[in-house]
């Protein structure tokens, strides 16, 4: 899978999954960080989209550190329109590529997925050329 969506807002995540699928992205859905760890162990995602509240509730990023990402993978956090985002701890800021307000910034999410995918593909080619 290219993108793993994690959160409890099923309507939002389903809409995002449809938007990403229309853009040609393979998507997985998980309700909890524990479910995400199990799914990512079978097939590491290139991008992890995580509800900001779940990320903040994860003690010392323990939940996030257990999720394996594909090489070149990134973490993107999201919050809803009505949420007032609080400051992220520095350790979580370093892990995060972006913090989006969804569904308003869904097109930005599609662009981020495409950018991360392109970056990972070009990086993979460079690594293969270096080995030869």
Instruction: Please give the Cα distance from 14 to 64 (Å, whole number).
Output: 22
Domains and CATH numbers, the chain: 3-131 (3.40.50.2300)
| % residues pLDDT > 70 (the chain) | 88
Q: Cβ(48)–Cβ(60) under 8 Å?
A: no
pTM of the model: 0.85
Length of the chain: 132
Judged against a pLDDT cut of 60, whether residue 63 lies above it is answered with: no
Instruction: Please indicate whether residue 1 or residue 39 has the higher confidence score (pLDDT).
Output: 39
Beta-bridge mates of residue 43? none
The confidence score (pLDDT) of residue 98 equals: 94
Burial (CB count within 10 angstroms: exposed 0-12, middle 13-18, buried 19+), residue 56: middle
Structure tokens that stand for 60 in this block: 């010392």
Instruction: Please give the Cα distance from 66 to 10 (Å, whole number).
Output: 23
Q: Which residues contact 129 (CB under 8 A, 6 or more apart)?
A: none
């Amino acid at each position: 899978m290219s993108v793993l969506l994690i959160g409890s807002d099923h309507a939002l995540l389903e809409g995002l999954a449809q938007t990403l699928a229309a853009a040609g992205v393979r998507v997985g859905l998980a309700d909890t960080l524990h479910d995400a760890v199990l799914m990512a162990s079978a097939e590491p995602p290139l991008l992890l989209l995580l509800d900001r509240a779940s990320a903040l509730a994860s003690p010392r990023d323990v939940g996030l550190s257990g999720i394996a990402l594909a090489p070149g993978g990134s973490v993107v956090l999201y919050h809803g329109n009505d949420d007032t985002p609080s400051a992220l701890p520095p350790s979580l800021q370093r892990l995060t590529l972006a913090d989006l307000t969804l569904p308003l910034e869904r097109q930005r999410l599609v662009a981020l997925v495409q950018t991360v995918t392109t970056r990972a593909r070009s990086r993979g080619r460079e690594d293969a050329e270096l080995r030869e």
